[in-house]
Structure 1
Amino acid sequence: MKKNIVLFTLFILPIVAYLFFASGINSFAKLPTITEKIPDISQWKTADGKTVTLNDKITILGFTGSKIIYNEGNFFNLNQKIYNKNKNFKDFQFVMVAPKGSEGQVQELMDKLKPIAEDKDISKWIFVFGAPDEIKDYYSKLNLVGQLDANSGTANVYIVDKERNLRGRKGKNLEGKNEYKEGYNTISAADLHNEMSDDVKIILYEYRAALKKNNPKTEMKRKI
C-alpha cells in the first residue's frame, strides 16, 4: 500500500498537475510569444517617485487611459478574476501605465480596490505615470493589432514574462486550429475567468517547472 502511494506521488501526481495547467481552454503546450523583448518601463515612475521594471517579473501590463474611475469596473473584474488568485506568487505584479494628471483617480481607485482585495493586500497593484505621447509611442513598440483609444488607454491587459516577452495565443493549437490572442478584455469577466485565467496558470506553471528542474533542493526546502 505504501509503495503504491509513493509511486503515485512520484510519477502520477506530476502528470496530473501538468495536465491541469496545460489543458482547458488554452490547448497550446506552451504559451506562445506574440512580441519578443518589449521595452522596459523604467523611464516612468509611481506617484511616490519609485521606478518599476518588467525584468525578472511575470507582469500583467495595462494601459488605463485618463478615464480611470469611469472604467473602474474593468479593474474590479481584473482584481477578482486574476489578481486575488495569483498575487501570492512571489514574482508576479500588475503594472498599469496611466497618463500624468490621473494620480488622484488612481488613489481613489486603490481605495475602492483595497476592501475587495484578498487580505486587503493591493501591494502588487502598481501604477506608473507618463505623458500621453510617451505612452502611445511605447505602446506602438509592442507591435500589436490593437490600438490605444483617444484617452491613451485600452480595456485589454497583457501577459509579459520575466524576459519581457509578451505572451498570448498565436498559431495552431494542439487541436490544429489557428488562434490569435494578444490581450485579454477586462470588460468581459468571462474572458478573464476563462481564457486569461487559464493562460496565467500555464505561464506560472512554466516557471514553477523550470525552478523545480534547475533547483530541486531549493524546491524541496520550499515544500517543507
Structure 2
Amino acid sequence: MKKTFVLVSLFVLPVVIYMFFASGVYNFGKLPVLTTDIASINTKDSKVSFDNKITILGFLGNAIENKKGNAFNLNQKIYKRFYKFNDFQFVMMVPKGSENKVAELKKELGHLVDIKKWNFIFSEEQDIKNVFNSLNTDLELDDDLGSPFVFIIDKDGNLRGRDDDEDEGVKYGFNTTSVADLNNKMEDDVKIILAEYRMALKKNNANRGK
C-alpha cells in the first residue's frame, strides 16, 4: 500500500494537477472584450493595422521626451518578453511633426532589443483623438495628445481588459509608469490572450484533421 501511495503521489498526482490547471486556462482564461470596433489606425503612410494582430496600443503625445521612461518600462517588461510571437505588435500613435523625437527614442530602445515590432503611426490630432475616444474608456488624453496608459487590442480590433479587477473594477488599460501594473497585471493578461489564440489555432487544426 505504501509503495502504491508513493507511486501515485510521484506520477499520477502531478498529471492530475496539470490537467486541472490546463482545463482552467481553457475554460476561464479568456480576456473579456470591453469595447468593439475600435477606429482604424490605417494611414496613407503606413500599412499597419489591427487586422489579425494582437496589438499593444499606446499614445506618446508631443512631449515624447517625457514619455521615455514609460517606453523603456514597456520595452523591458512586456515587449522583450513577447515580441517573438508572430502575431504580436506594438503600435504607438504620435502627432505629425514628432518624427525626429521618435527617431531618437527608437535608437535608444534599440540598444536593448530588436524593435522591429514597435510601430509608430504619425497622425493628425483629430485622428489620434478618434482612435482614443473609440476605446470608450474612463481615461482621457493629456493636453499633448499622450497617455501613460496602453491597451490590448485583439485580432478583430476589439479592446480587451478586465471587467472584475480587484483594484479598479473595469480595467481598460495599463499604466506604463507603474512597473507593478506591468509586471503583475499586464504581463498576465498578454499571456492569456496569446494562449487564447494558440488554443483556438490548435482546435482549428485538429478539426481540419478529422
The alignment's TM-score, normalised by the length of structure 1, stands at 0.80
**Which residue pairs with 1:111 in the alignment?**
107
Q: Point out the structure with max Rg over C-alpha.
A: 2
**Which residue pairs with 2:186 in the alignment?**
196
Q: Aligned partner of 1:78: which letter? A: L
1:16 Cα deviation from its structure 2 partner: 4.0
Count of residue pairs the alignment pairs up: 200
| Cα deviations by residue, 1:112-156 (Å, 9 ceiling, x for unpaired) | 001112xxx110100001111221133212211101010001000
**Which residue pairs with 1:132 in the alignment?**
125
Instruction: Classify the secondary structure of the residue corresponding to 2:66.
Output: coil
**Which residue pairs with 2:50 in the alignment?**
54
**How has the CA–CA distance of structure 1 residues 187 and 107 changed in structure 2, closer, same or farther, with 3 Å as cutoff?**
same
CA distance in 1, matches of 2:58, 2:102: 13
| Cα deviations by residue, 1:10-68 (Å, 9 ceiling, x for unpaired) | x765544465x68xxxxx642111101212211x25xxx33211011000000110111
Given that residues 40 and 55 in structure 1 are in contact (C-alpha distance below 8 angstroms), is that contact kept between their aligned partners in structure 2?
no
Instruction: Classify the secondary structure of the residue corresponding to 1:115.
Output: coil
Given that residues 35 and 167 in structure 1 are in contact (C-alpha distance below 8 angstroms), is that contact kept between their aligned partners in structure 2?
yes
The alignment's TM-score, normalised by the length of structure 2, stands at 0.85
CA distance in 2, matches of 1:172, 1:132: 32
Given that residues 140 and 147 in structure 2 are in contact (C-alpha distance below 8 angstroms), is that contact kept between their aligned partners in structure 1?
yes
**Which residue pairs with 1:182 in the alignment?**
172
CA distance in 1, matches of 2:30, 2:160: 10
**How has the CA–CA distance of structure 1 residues 152 and 17 changed in structure 2, closer, same or farther, with 3 Å as cutoff?**
same
**How has the CA–CA distance of structure 1 residues 194 and 41 changed in structure 2, closer, same or farther, with 3 Å as cutoff?**
same
**How has the CA–CA distance of structure 1 residues 17 and 53 changed in structure 2, closer, same or farther, with 3 Å as cutoff?**
same
CA distance in 1, matches of 2:197, 2:60: 28
Is 1:98 paired with 2:94?
Answer: yes
Given that residues 66 and 102 in structure 1 are in contact (C-alpha distance below 8 angstroms), is that contact kept between their aligned partners in structure 2?
yes
Instruction: Classify the secondary structure of the residue corresponding to 1:116.
Output: coil
CA distance in 2, matches of 1:166, 1:136: 16
Gaps of 5+ in 1: 23-27, 220-224
Q: Aligned partner of 1:213: which letter? A: K
Given that residues 38 and 141 in structure 1 are in contact (C-alpha distance below 8 angstroms), is that contact kept between their aligned partners in structure 2?
yes
**Which residue pairs with 2:141 in the alignment?**
148
1:172 Cα deviation from its structure 2 partner: 7.8
Instruction: Classify the secondary structure of the residue corresponding to 2:140.
Output: coil
Instruction: Classify the secondary structure of the residue corresponding to 1:41.
Output: coil
- Of 152, 165, 171, the residue aligned with 1:159 is 152
1:171 Cα deviation from its structure 2 partner: 4.2
Post-superposition, which runs of at least 4 consecutive aligned residues in structure 1 deviate over 2 A?
Answer: 11-19, 216-219
What pairs with 1:2-21 in structure 2 (closer than 5 Å)? 13=18, 15-17=20-22
| Cα deviations by residue, 1:156-205 (Å, 9 ceiling, x for unpaired) | 000000011100011488xxx98210000000111001100011010011
Percent of residue pairs identical: 47
